[in-house]
Structure 1
Amino acid sequence: MAAGMASRYGSMKQIQQFGPSGETIMDYSIFDAIRAGFGKVVFIIRRDFAEEFKNIFEPKLKGRIETEYVYQDKDAFLDGYQAPADRQKPWGTSHAILCAKDAVSGPFAVINADDFYGADGFVKAAEFLNTRCAADHYALVGYQLNNTLSENGSVSRGVCSTDAQGNLVAINERLKIYRKDGNMVSEEPDGSFLGLDENTRASMNFWCFHPSLFPILQEEFKTFLQQQGQELKAEFLIPYSCDRFIKTGRGSIEVLETSAQWFGVTYKEDAPVVTESVKKQVESGAYPSNLWNVETVA
């Protein structure tokens, strides 16, 4: 998913270069996906930067993995609904997935373009998609919350609750998570502080789905538009859709645990940290210094 407007960041972070040979964060995700056995990447983007985007990625990926581009247009799947004329934001992450409906035919993973997820997340996702994914059983790659914080401000995270079988019960959106006096806390709307366990699982929008999701999203999007469609900034989001999937009895969502270090670029000040984090990954041998200057992705 690369169609977001990056309003907090202030520029097109999806194509910003962070690696030693000009790699974007997406390059590392695609590299990890290829190594884990994925065979196709579908880029969900906006039409207004499609050509620039393709010019960056096509030369790198040609012959390595199948690619397809879909566009998150504001009028897609509205089915006659009249959106506010002055709405500028896309309709959110669930709508982004819905826009990829015709490009996906089998079990698939969904990630954010501007998040570094680490190789283990893709290995766990591929194993699930190949062995356990079903029309009534999806998955979420759950990251340790302490591996997802920013040094440059508070973060919003979907904090996961699971049952005894390791299936998702709920995702509770915590809007201001940070360290206070060495402890990880969530600052609540009433000004109180909720202490959070370091190993609490967080959703970083790394999902594993069956194509059965698409008709569900179409149905839920109609309801969303009826209820919130006239709100200029309302978004149809994956956590909401997955919560509905569980609570309406359609199926279960397994939480796949990973200890991989997540990092991303929520704030402009995060960019040097991300560049340094990528550098350390390369120096450790996890990635070559030039991702695509190799004969094969081993």
Structure 2
Amino acid sequence: MNNIFERNLIHGNKTKVRTPFSAVYLAAGLSSRFGYRIKCLQEVGRLGETLLELSIRQLTKYGLSDIIIVVSRSTYPKVHLVAGDAFQGVPITYCFQETPNHRKKPLGTVHALLCAKDVIDKAFIVLNGDTLYGEHAICNMVQHIQSNEIPCMPGYRLEDVLPREGKVNRAIVNTEHNWLVNIVEHYDISMEDIQNGLYTGNELTSMNIFAFRPDVFSYMENKLRVWLEQNRHEPSKEYILSTMLNDLYPETGKRTRVFETGNVPLELTNPEDFGYVKNNLDLVGF
């Protein structure tokens, strides 16, 4: 009998053994917009499931071997209370991201991911616990892991990732023949900007979900070391994964595959998003 993490995937008449992969959830932050509550633990499911539980459930059907959750000392007790040490038989490991005393904010998502590097020994997907990325996007991520086309990431249409009301920042993804050229942060975008012609709405955006192999860690460590030297007295600036990816190809020759997804992701950014997420779970396959 196959190991439970090497399940068979049927494509037409072909049977493909699923390669085990890890999921790394970034859950070290407290949201000031949510009254310093933990967004991934908001109960949006029809049976009271949290965002984190729903997200993990989408991954378990694709050969997920283990879960790593990056937490802080503040978020760990409540996250552990909900997630425990295993989810549907998949083991969970917790890693801690510490914030230096002189800083107002954590060091960013590159640092958060590096906090888990010692427990990652296979291809992995890193993602936010407060976002439901959708069945189509998750399936494509796993297929890219199988085909060795990683690093990789889904690109979501801008129109599909803007709130119905209000403004948000979004990372616009520029590509060439489905390879990443760069990711550029755009600030205070609204639906009105599309209506006024500032954007078409078809621009691709990053929602902070990526797939890597462990060999990326040495590069990340070097980049973070340089960044820390340049920003040693900076209390709030963060070094994030999208910034790191912008340098990866020019400096190493390793390209990032970007695939378009038809999913409309569900994300908790503001408190008023709660009702929309709870009432539109069908958009992401629930």
Structure 2: which 5+ residue stretches go unaligned?
1-25
Match of 2:209, SS state, is strand
Contact persistence 1:152–1:269 (CA under 8 A): no
Larger relative contact order (C-alpha < 8 A, sep ≥ 6)?
1
Q: Which amino acid aligns with 1:112?
A: N
- Give the match for residue 58 of structure 1: 84
- Give the match for residue 146 of structure 1: 159
Match of residue 188, structure 2, among 164, 171, 176: 176
Aligned-pair CA distance for 1:61: 1.1
In the alignment, structure 1 residue 244 sits paired with structure 2 residue 238: no
Aligned-pair CA distance for 1:2: 0.8
Distance in 2 (alpha carbons) for counterparts of 1:141 and 1:37: 19
- Give the match for residue 99 of structure 2: 74
- Structural mapping, 1:1-298, within 5 Å: 1-10=26-35, 11-58=37-84, 61-63=87-89, 65-74=90-99, 85-133=101-149, 137-164=150-177, 166-180=178-192, 183=195, 195-278=198-281, 280=282, 286-287=285-286
Aligned-pair CA distance for 1:105: 0.4
Distance in 1 (alpha carbons) for counterparts of 2:202 and 2:125: 24
TM-score normalised by L of structure 2:
0.85
Distance in 2 (alpha carbons) for counterparts of 1:146 and 1:249: 33
Q: Where does structure 1 differ by over 3 angstroms across 4 or more consecutive aligned residues?
A: none
Structure 1: which 5+ residue stretches go unaligned?
76-84, 186-194, 288-298
Match of 1:39, SS state, is strand
Q: Which amino acid aligns with 2:208?
A: N
Q: Which amino acid aligns with 2:182?
A: A
Distance in 2 (alpha carbons) for counterparts of 1:162 and 1:123: 21
Distance in 1 (alpha carbons) for counterparts of 2:196 and 2:54: 28
Root-mean-square deviation (CA, aligned residues, Å) is: 1.9
Paired residues, what number? 260
Match of 2:95, SS state, is strand
Aligned-pair CA distance for 1:182: 6.1
Contact persistence 2:180–2:257 (CA under 8 A): yes
Deviations 1:141-198 (A, max 9, x none): 111111111123111111011112x10001111011112276276xxxxxxxxx2222
Aligned-pair CA distance for 1:37: 2.2
Identity of aligned residues (%): 27
Aligned-pair CA distance for 1:59: 7.5
Distance in 1 (alpha carbons) for counterparts of 2:30 and 2:246: 25
Distance in 1 (alpha carbons) for counterparts of 2:32 and 2:74: 16
Match of 1:21, SS state, is coil
Q: Which amino acid aligns with 2:108?
A: G
